[in-house]
Amino acid sequence: MKSLKNLVIFCLALILAGSISISVATARSAQTYDIVIKGGRVIDPETQLDGRRNVGIKGDKIAAISESSLAVKKVFDAAGMVVAPGFIDLHAHGQQIPAARMQAFDGVTTGLELESGLLPVREFYETVAKEGRPINYGASSSWVSARIAVLNNIRPEANLLWFQKAFALDNWQYPVATPEQLAKIVALVEQGLKEGGIGIGIDAGYSPGNGSKEFYSLGALAAKYNVPTYTHIRNFSNIDPKSSFEAYLELVAVSTTTGAHMHICHLNSTSSRDIKVFPMLEAAQKKGANITVEAYPYGGASTVVGAEILRGNWRDRMGMQASDIEFEGKPLNDQTLNEMQSKTPGAPIVFHFLREDQNAADRKQLDESVLYPGGIIASDGMPWATPDGNSIDGGIWPLPKGAFAHPRSSGTFSRFLRVWVRERKSLPLMDALAKTSLIPAQILEKSTPQMRNKGRLQVGKDADLVVFNLNTIADRSTYTQPAQTATGMKYVLVNGVPLIQNGELNLKVLPGKPMRRNPT
């Protein structure tokens, strides 16, 4: 009797379980989604999903991924298209609305100012929140702003223009801080972390004279708050002493002794032409150093003409000439370079540290950076400026005639997919999309929990999505005509809101949200 009773109970449980499952399935099938992206090749680098699916979006979340049809208010036809997580750019200096719109055409749904960072951090977030942004935004706490402020006894301002103007001051790039000054610098950076900064921006290449104790103090602070640093190493040189190799050794030492997660900015440029940098970094990572790496797919860098890397014996150190430096697309010579460094030291310029289109060795060097194992793609995209040097911000669109910036400001991710995935077939699309979405999110998610919902195409994650044609995606920007949007993006959704639809930008929406550590 007891066994019969147990059998009855078991059967009833199965019936109830079946009815519950049927009810849930019925509820899901009856649900109407705000948007369904239909029939695309859906790729999620974390789960390795790669197949034809329909993606249902409800509000700002992904609500369904299904092989069967979904009830919907609005259908986006993705037949023949790739559907992927939106790209995450950890190195986006262009934090203005026009810069973000240019990046949206490049598939970027989150663009963060982490290398230089900004101060005061609270001021940055409050200002941007009032204006709104097309894509998600955020910033780190800026060491270089703190250093400029303390050594000049001035208040920092939370914009890149303030930093550019600081190049007219000559007492912050080289002096070693006194113990009292160092304490004030660290306190300012720590305040930025308390206000929600996403780690510490260490632009050491612009203030290479800072002492090793100062650099170490920043690593220790990052470890204390369990946040990454985003480091532009202090040296740019092929030769010892003060070589790029030496600077990377310093970074490895600080990371391993403090335990800090240290993220290397633009490995492609700061490694210069020294092939020994790559095996050294890989060896450090294999031995447990918490170091991550980024690169952008260009052999030309952007900086200001008054930067310290272009002073002294820079020609010998970098293997370059004045003609490798361009202002507004035109090469300089020794005379024009000296004049600009004297009169307009904050003017943005491009310098070609590699000529990958002309030199096989340079191309191989760039390949090593872009394809670095576990490394990510990041743009180092700059703000857009008018021909007379004024920043283009506000709601201006399209960009005015003659608008200028480095071409990476509009074509980084599309160029990466065009050249290394479609044309050269250097890596599979799945791995390439991990470099543009999943891995950047993973770099940040331990310290910034919001990022756990970014960079994935899974139910319950944020609906930051791109739909593009792999056969046509391409960068159009050049060094002489950079203000050209990338092509190939059919749809770009930010937090469930269509920002680009059928290749057209919606100027009426600003769906970007702040990416920020919880302020204390």
**pLDDT for res 427:** 97
Cis omega (within 30 of 0) for bond into 241: yes
**The two three-digit tokens of residue 442, written as one number:** 């993973």
**pLDDT for res 203:** 96
Task: Give the domains, in start order, of the chain with CATH numbers.
Answer: 86-452 (3.20.20.140)
Q: Scanning the structure block, which residue is given the tokens 């660290």?
A: 186
**pLDDT for res 30:** 56
Taking alpha carbons only, the member of 28, 10, 106 closest to residue 477 is 106
**pLDDT for res 2:** 44
**Cα–Cα distance between 304 and 210 in angstroms, integer?**
19
Taking alpha carbons only, the member of 60, 3, 140 closest to residue 495 is 60
Cis omega (within 30 of 0) for bond into 398: yes
Q: Scanning the structure block, which residue is given the tokens 């220790």?
A: 220
**Cα–Cα distance between 316 and 318 in angstroms, integer?**
6
Contact 350, 406 (CB under 8 A): yes
Q: Environment class of residue 265 by beta-carbon count within 10 Å: exposed (0-12), middle (13-18) or buried (19+)?
A: buried
Type of residue numbered 137: Y
Contact 281, 271 (CB under 8 A): no
Type of residue numbered 403: A
Taking alpha carbons only, the member of 69, 125, 63, 61 closest to residue 95 is 125
By DSSP bridging, strand 200-203 and strand 229-232 are parallel
Taking only the tens of pLDDT, the chain with its 520 residues reads 444 444 444 444 433 444 333 333 333 445 899 999 999 999 999 999 999 999 999 999 999 999 999 999 899 999 999 999 999 999 999 999 999 999 999 999 999 999 999 999 999 999 999 999 999 999 999 999 999 999 999 999 999 899 989 999 988 999 999 999 999 999 999 999 999 999 999 999 999 999 999 999 999 999 999 999 999 999 999 999 999 999 999 999 999 999 999 999 999 999 978 879 999 999 999 999 999 999 999 999 988 999 988 999 999 988 899 999 999 889 999 999 999 999 999 888 999 999 999 999 999 999 999 999 999 999 999 999 998 888 999 999 999 999 999 999 999 999 999 999 999 999 999 999 999 999 999 999 999 999 999 999 999 999 999 999 999 999 999 999 999 999 999 999 999 999 999 999 999 999 999 999 987 7
pTM of the full structure = 0.92
**pLDDT for res 1:** 43
Contact 261, 287 (CB under 8 A): no
